[in-house]
Amino acid sequence: MQRKYISVPTLGEPHLASPLDRTSTPGDGAAKFIPTNRYVRHRVELDEGIDDVEEMLFEKSGAREKIYFDPAETRAALVTCGGLCPGLNDVIRSVFMELHMNYGVKEIIGIRHGFEGLNPAEGKPPIRLSRDLLDNIHEEGGTVLGSSRGPQDPAVMVDFLERERIDILFCIGGDGTQRGAHSIHEEIDRRGRRISVVGIPKTIDNDIYYCDRSFGLVSAIAEAQKVLTCAHVEARGARNGIGLVRVMGRGAGFIAAGATLASQDVNFCLVPEVPFALHGDQGLLPVLRRRMLERQHAVIVVAEGAGQHLFQDSPEHRDASGNVKFQDIGVYLKQQIVAYFQEHGPKVDVKYIDPSYIIRSVPANCEDSILCDQFGRRAVHAAMAGKTDVLIGHMSGTFVHVPIPMAIGEKARMSVEGELWTGVLASTGQPKRFE
């Protein structure tokens, strides 16, 4: 088996002793520094006898014994970009607390409203972060810094970093944000500057590659489960009631699938990874009709990116981040269901619910709050050690350093052969394919 060690760029040789109260001595009962040669396997499962597989190993993240930046002279900045997600404030607070309380960095600023804040011609001036300002923000949803979509000129953003004497920039966001972070790094590198750029993955859809679970996902699933419970009550309370719920999930159906399993009241789960037909003997609508004749109620959950193949003739539009604007599959499904049952019977009562903005705006639950804290503190460790153009990933139950170009090369999707989707099929009883 061939091994490929994945390393990330560094600004130079770390030569300063870390101020953290840790040791490298095994068995002394103290917290440990992570050795520079500690790696994590990308693949956990391997088949016996296969020798021609290339095994990727990623640097394990965590505090290093030697650091690159002198905390007393370091100035850091944080920016949050893209749509809202449970846990953004938790990450901001944990990054600040690790920098300020443990490393002793005194100058930490917050960039307002995404990458706009790195362009003085468009954004608001930055704010200085403090313990008083951030004390209770983890109890609230959203981001205290504000957010926005869309890129800015890398040269303009690096000009800003130079003027503000920023040594470290933390970019909290999804793949569009990380593409922007990489372009900032490239401009910094072109100028020969020593500024660290560290990405923290934020995607409620859980679709960043080399990151098994991003923060906010579990909170979103928990909120979606509550909505599905209400949809089930509505469906059973009406004669031939159908509860139709649309949740977030552009290219990946993790929220829809997770909420389905948590709820156990869903009869049909539609995700982007599995195309479906509306008509034909095994199409969604005839199968739904058979369900209604037998049980007189049904609950359907659909991810926003599901069924986009049904709109092939529609013009393509993009948002400020370059993402394709999807057609509203929830409204379309409601229309199709109503029209089908008007023609074929029985008469149905469809309740359509779209809780997307509610779900993404809630505070993080306890499980996500812990994950946020771990992401934030490990991002600080990476930055202080001089790592750059790096994303904090999560795999095999631990945290790793992922080169940003690798992370944005493709998106993660739910495996239709994996246990999550298998569980969905088992709990709903729906066909493997609607065709």
Helix 419-428 × helix 254-263 angle, to 10°: 50
Q: Is 368 a catalytic residue?
A: no
CA distance 222 to 262: 8
Cβ proximity of 350 and 130 under 8 Å: no
Q: Is 48 exposed, middle or buried (0-12, 13-18, 19+ CB in 10 A)?
A: exposed
- Residues 6 or more apart from 187 whose CB is under 8 A from it? 154, 155, 157, 158
With vertex at residue 207, the alpha carbon angle to CA 202 and CA 208, rounded to the nearest 5 degrees, is: 60
> Which H or E element spans position 399?
strand 398-403
Cβ proximity of 270 and 301 under 8 Å: yes
**Of 66, 55, 53, which is closest to residue 19 (Cα–Cα)?**
66
Of these residues, 90, 167, 175, 205, which one is catalytic?
A: 205
Cβ proximity of 170 and 198 under 8 Å: yes
CA distance 139 to 325: 32
Collapsing DSSP to helix, strand or coil, 398 comes out as strand
Cβ proximity of 268 and 428 under 8 Å: yes
CA distance 160 to 169: 11
**Of 186, 194, 300, 206, which is closest to residue 248 (Cα–Cα)?**
206
Q: What is the dihedral of CA 58, 60, 64, 67, to 10 degrees?
A: 30
Task: Give 403's DSSP letter.
Answer: E
Which residues are tagged catalytic? 205
